[in-house]
Structure 1
Amino acid sequence: MNFFPNAKINLGLNITEKRTDGFHNLESVFVPVLWNDELEIIESDQTSFVSSGIEIPGEPNENLCLKAFYLVQSEFKLPPVRIHLKKNIPIGAGLGGGSSDAAFVIKGINEMFELNMNVEQMQNFARKLGSDCAFFIKNEPVFAFGKGDEFAPINIDLSNKYLVLVYPNVHVSTAQAYSGVKPKKPEYSLKDIINMPIKDWRSFMKNDFEQSIFKAFPKLYRLKQDLYSLGALYASMSGSGSTIFGIFEGIPPRIKVKDAQIHICKL
């Protein structure tokens, strides 16, 4: 069977406190994005993982897709499968591509083998794989809190808006991103900001990673300003970077950025 794991963006990102388990509590709004990987899962004589497209670092047997399969197999009797992932979503770009791939394996296995898991069961598997992995089970806009794996419904309408994503081939490690952030309670509630007109988000919505990351990579700051100069209603870095996105009212003007991947889609 074939599946198409999608990316996500963060609207706002507040790092609110350091947890006793070493993780951080955060607040954000997660929104699914139509930038997709391609995932094929078929029964086989032995379980394996192969990939094509963008090169995935690390050993294949350590990939989250395999870990997701084995996690489900630990509780259900499943035959071996061959997983082929064509990687299109940039890696380490703040778009959640790896988490999405793993979540779609869980959903795919549930569908293929008629396991009849409900959303909560699948989310509980996904939470064991990564902080934002559980989001991709329901795959709809949510207010995210805790480690980024707890969700509350949110009313947001971005229909007919266009999204421009610019990945400038700059790698920002998660450790580097968190090292530059001091957790604090946000000045404004993200739940309130999200109900404002989009043009007002620029004045109130923040991504706490931007301040230190932009100092280390001025190119990212310039990209954000470029999107505003082209007419973006709102622009930001997604997650811990390095993708910069802009939300536009209509079809955006042609954008050229040297040595960058640019993806345009409708929200």
Structure 2
Amino acid sequence: MQIMENAPAKINLCLNVLSKREDGFHEMEMVMTTIDLSDRLTFTIQENDITVDSNSSFMPLDERNIVVKTAQLLKETYHIDAGVHIYIDKIIPIAAGLGGGSSDAAATLRALNQLWKLDLSLEQLAELGERIGSDIPFCVYGQTAYVTGRGEKVKPLPSFPSCWVIVVKPFKGISSWTVFKDLDVDSLPNYSIDQLVHGIEHESFDECIRYVGNALEEKASQQNPRILTVKEKMLEFGAEAALMSGTGPTVFGLTQNLTKAKRIVNGLKGFCKEVYLVRHLN
């Protein structure tokens, strides 16, 4: 038996860091959505073992892989006798702030729930995903949402207003922990998420773009100044809004005009190799 599952990238429309928690993580407040830039995972049932293969040479294929960790957690928690072979067709850039690994893990939870006939709810899958990574609960649901805690508290929202998303990944990746290391929370900007949520609920693209923002952008830009360069070029070429996703270094721009979106893409191809034009997912 074989199942295929899409694992879409996520973007942070707004990201605030509220405080440093006693457990070492940071208390976050975010609005996130998914975009039509997806890894494709194929799951084939086999005897006992969990094995992984991929078209990407930039990820481990052993127990260090987040997909393997996720499958093992599910297998051990529910005492599954069967195994699975997982092939990851990797499209989402790695170490990019797009949640590719988390989305792969979420896709693994959804697919194995079917393949191993576990009949678990999305809420149960999200709780399992939380044990592996902070972004996985959001990726399990895979829709626009208000997200708090360290990422595990997910409140679904209506779909973000229809638009084109220009995604640009500068060459140098960033590890999330390096952005949060020695982070001075009190010095960070704080964006009006309530206003953004209001814009989403009223399907107002113009209101939404006034309130997007990422409190980690300046810190990440110290590691990779190309982030600000790409953002400035996006706005110069006509994007209605542009900001970094997650801990970076990927920058995305938003516009409802396809002609303008194509012009932005053509303008940015001279600055970065990895440039994508996609829609957000409803």
TM-score by length of 2: 0.87
Is 2:265 the counterpart of 1:265?
no
Deviates more, 1:113-122 or 1:257-266: 257-266
Whether the 8 Å CA contact 1:156–1:195 is kept in 2: the answer is no
2:227 corresponding residue in structure 1: 220
Is 2:158 the counterpart of 1:122?
no
1:45 and 1:223, CA in 2 relative to 1: closer, same or farther beyond 3 A?
same
User: CA–CA distance in 2 between the matches of 1:147 and 1:129?
Assistant: 12
TM-score by length of 1: 0.92
User: CA–CA distance in 2 between the matches of 1:190 and 1:40?
Assistant: 37
1:171 and 1:149, CA in 2 relative to 1: closer, same or farther beyond 3 A?
same
1:222 and 1:258, CA in 2 relative to 1: closer, same or farther beyond 3 A?
closer
Is 2:138 the counterpart of 1:135?
yes
The Cα of 1:59 is off from its aligned counterpart by 5.2
1:237 corresponding residue in structure 2: 244
Secondary structure of residue in 2 paired with 1:73 = helix
Deviates more, 1:62-71 or 1:192-201: 192-201
Whether the 8 Å CA contact 1:18–1:25 is kept in 2: the answer is yes
Secondary structure of residue in 1 paired with 2:9 = strand
- Tell me the matched-pair count: 266
The Cα of 1:202 is off from its aligned counterpart by 5.9
1:137 and 1:222, CA in 2 relative to 1: closer, same or farther beyond 3 A?
same
Whichever residue aligns with residue 17 of structure 2, its letter is I
Q: Which has the higher helix share?
A: 2
1:34 and 1:71, CA in 2 relative to 1: closer, same or farther beyond 3 A?
same
The Cα of 1:180 is off from its aligned counterpart by 5.7
Whether the 8 Å CA contact 2:7–2:100 is kept in 1: the answer is yes
Whether the 8 Å CA contact 2:190–2:215 is kept in 1: the answer is no
Deviates more, 1:195-204 or 1:162-171: 195-204
2:62 corresponding residue in structure 1: 60
Aligned pair partner of 1:109 in 112, 119, 133: 112
1:120 and 1:78, CA in 2 relative to 1: closer, same or farther beyond 3 A?
farther
Query: Gaps spanning 5+ residues in structure 1: where?
Result: none
User: CA–CA distance in 2 between the matches of 1:194 and 1:137?
Assistant: 21
CA RMSD, 1 decimal: 2.0
Whether the 8 Å CA contact 2:52–2:68 is kept in 1: the answer is no
Give % identity: 27
2:7 corresponding residue in structure 1: 5
Whether the 8 Å CA contact 1:16–1:186 is kept in 2: the answer is no
The Cα of 1:189 is off from its aligned counterpart by 3.1
1:232 and 1:180, CA in 2 relative to 1: closer, same or farther beyond 3 A?
farther
Is 2:172 the counterpart of 1:146?
no
